[in-house]
Structure 1
Amino acid sequence: VDISVRKGTHQSEHAVNKQLNDKERVAAALENSHLLEVVNQCLATATSGGMVANIVKGPAIVN
């Protein structure tokens, strides 16, 4: 799964996209329950092709 910031919505778009797709950084961040909740809240409001992703302490589950 590739995740990216919508073009033109962030001043550091390239740097943020690089961090979002760094598997080790993502795995470490998901160990933090607060960050996991923030990610799930963001994903709950984002849609892609009518699908919403949800992370439950591990791999993404697409609803």
Structure 2
Amino acid sequence: MSRHLLKPLRASILVAFDGLVKTACLTIGVGVVWSDRAVMALATLAGCFSGVILKAAVELATVYS
């Protein structure tokens, strides 16, 4: 593969791993405090949703700048 194709691929993989690590840390942190699975699932969904909103805001700012 050429270099200009590898840079976006590398960036997308790093962003995906970053999101997975943040969500896992959030879930583990909530699990330490509350052992209720429903609360952990809600925190995980909230973390995923906030990550999506953050990525969308960054893309929007990139497009309009």
TM over 0.5: no
- Larger RCO, structure (CA 8 Å, separation 6 or more): 2
Q: Which protein has the larger Cα radius of gyration, Structure 1 or Structure 2?
A: 2
Instruction: Provide TM-score, normalisation by structure 2.
Output: 0.31
Structure with greater strand share of residues? 1
Instruction: Provide TM-score, normalisation by structure 1.
Output: 0.32
